[in-house]
Amino acid sequence: MMRGPDRHRLARWRPFAAGVALSIAVVSGCVWAQTVDDSPRRALRVCQDPNNLPFSNQAEEGLENRIAAVMAKAMALPLEHFWYPQRVNFVRNTLRYKLPGDAEYRCDLLIGIPAGFDQVMTTRPYYRSTYALVFVEGRKLEVRSADEFLALDPKLRERLTVGIYDRSPATQWIMKHGLNEQTIPYRMLNADPAHYPGQIIEQDLAQGKIDAAVVWGPIAGFFAKRVPGLKIVPLPSEPGVKFDYSMAMGVRHGEGEWRDQVQAVVDANAAEIEAILIDFGVPLVDDDGRVRN
């Protein structure tokens, strides 16, 4: 669910979208009183953004849509969605929302959130990814690692324009390595309902408006597969810059039995879930931040 995680755990959680880098408290709203519903489910009801590829969309083309379908089948439950844009107060208006007199909440599960996010009760992480440098191979740039990029001749590097989402870990990396002058910041929160995280790649990078972008790994991998000639270079965390984050699933606080049921299904279908992530081009990393695929 994200632009990408930030230093507060999410870099516009619309973690990862592109960045997953607002505080998650802003995205989800303040904690408020709620009743607990740990009764058996009649359906797998997922809270999802209708226009947030590669994570979800209303056509059910996103990786979180695919994972939800796997889980619903494993639970022998019908799959239902509650669509709501992942912007301000997303959790409050979806997972924690119930009108007076309503018997049920709007939805019961968040598929992709930073592990340990305190606004919900989380499962164990089901994947870990990292931010990545994306560029058109051979156009102005050809590197295989962050070290190679930073070691470019200063005159060449100064001619490159790099797009990043504001207030994401990419901002810290840019500042640390003195790349401010050639960086083009993009707003993490965009009021346009047609906006989606991958526009920085699929439009501006592909059309040559920028020479490279630093975005959350799932976004980088997905749109690199959609745009011919794009290459991604996963970026390792370094002192002062955390790039890799673990992602989990979330339910309402107090619904421990439901969380445990979700966890059991995730564990039993781990291989199929990982295959979906790989199919979407997500750069997976181990607990030490080393790239696995």
* Helix ranges, the chain (H): 24-28, 63-75, 90-93, 146-150, 154-157, 169-176, 199, 217-226, 256-268, 270-279
Query: Residue 120's CB: how many other CB atoms inside 10 A?
Result: 23
Q: Tell me, yes or no, whether 115 lies in a domain.
A: yes
35 burial level (CB within 10 Å; 0-12, 13-18, 19+): exposed
Position 98 scores a pLDDT of 86
- The pLDDT of residue 18: 38
Residue 175 belongs to a domain with what CATH number?
3.40.190.10
Residue written as tokens 């607002």?
Answer: 22
pLDDT for the residue numbered 2 = 52
Residues in the chain: 293
pLDDT digits (tens, 9 = 90+) for 138-153: 899 999 999 999 999 9
Q: Are residue 171 and residue 265 in the same domain, yes or no? A: no
In a domain, 228, yes or no: yes
For residues 64 and 106, membership in a common domain is answered with yes
Residues of the chain with pLDDT under 70: 1-39
Quick one: 141 and 225 in the same domain?
yes
Give the pLDDT confidence score for residue 197 in this predicted structure: 83
The domain in which residue 222 lies consists of 129-234
Identify the pLDDT of residue 124. Answer: 97
CA distance 221 to 187: 21
Cis, peptide link before residue 40, omega less than 30° from 0 = no
Q: What pLDDT sits at residue 17? A: 42
Total domains in the chain come to 2
* Cα–Cα distance, 272 to 275 (Å, whole number): 5
β pairing state of 162-165 and 212-216: parallel
Q: Are 68 and 118 part of one and the same domain?
A: yes
